[in-house]
Amino acid sequence: MRLVLLGPPGAGKGTQASAIISKYSIPHISTGDIFRENIKKGTDLGKQVEAYMNKGLLVPDELVVSIVKDRLTKEDCKEGFLLDGFPRTVNQAEALDEELKNMNLKLDKVINIKVGKDILIERAIGRRICKNCGATFHIKFNPPKEENVCDKCGGELHQRDDDTVETVEKRIEVYHEQTKPLIDYYDKKGLLLNVDGSKPVEEVFNEIIASLEGDF
């Protein structure tokens, strides 16, 4: 299964990604996670992308595309993959198409998670991430059993630097300008599956699986 998850910031892409990859045993490729990991480690790439991310802007296409191309050639992507947060511009989508064509592969579906602006802001502001294992929680919608402690590994939870009201609003604006055109792009190719992301996590997941398996 070769899948792309599309949706505005805070829509629930990462949350659904964890469930989807465990059901289909495919790797989760999140460009946002790759960048955050590089920032944490202080790599050259991390230094190049940090300012863009903190301003809520997209990282330049050249930096993102080469990382994803490289990742797709890894052994664990042979049977499929789930791209989360990539592509985010038409340019990136075209580069992905070209790379898959070279590899003689095709995307199976693009899952578009739709959520309105007010819910997005509330979700992103309340998001908490485990510093150790990266698991995602929400102070109201998916609280950890113990405040600020990860249920999975006991690690400390923290807030992403870009999850402030101001930056989230900027990211939503950037999404409308640069990422939303991809809905049309993939719809024209007959790959798009629209999912109502405003419902609870499990309902959204069930809807995704039902549409992927053709049980409408």
Active site residues: 13, 88, 127, 160, 171
Q: Which of 135, 174, 193, 212 binds Zn ion (CB under 5 A)?
A: 135
Q: Which residue from 162, 170, 179, 175 is spatially nearest to 125, judged by alpha carbons?
A: 162
Three-state secondary structure call for residue 120:
helix
Nearer to ligand ADP, 151 or 191 (CB): 151
- Min CB(202)–ligand ADP separation in Å: 8
Pick from Zn ion, ligand ADP, none: which does 54 bind, CB < 5 to 8 A by kind?
A: none
State the sign of the Cα–Cα–Cα–Cα dihedral 180, 137, 195, 69.
positive
Cis peptide before 87 (omega within 30 of 0): yes
Q: Which partner from the list Zn ion, ligand ADP, none does 171 bind, CB cut-off 5 to 8 Å by kind?
A: ligand ADP
Of 51, 103, 153, 165, the one binding Zn ion (CB under 5 A) is 153
24 binds, among ligand ADP, Zn ion, none (CB under 5 to 8 A by kind): none
Residues 123, 10: contact at Cβ < 8 Å?
yes
Contact letters for ligand ADP, residues 104-123 (x by CB under 6 A): -------------------x
| Alpha-carbon distances of 42 from 4, 27, 37, rounded to whole Å | 28, 24, 9
Task: Mention every residue, 6+ apart, whose C-beta is less than 8 A from residue 119.
Answer: 10, 198
In the complex, what is the shortest distance from the CB of residue 209 to ligand ADP, in angstroms, rounded to a whole number?
A: 14
Question: And the tokens for 44?
Answer: 């050259």
List residues near ligand ADP by CB under 6 A.
7, 9-15, 31-32, 35, 52-53, 56-59, 64, 85-86, 88, 92, 123-124, 126-127, 136-138, 141-142, 171, 200-201, 204
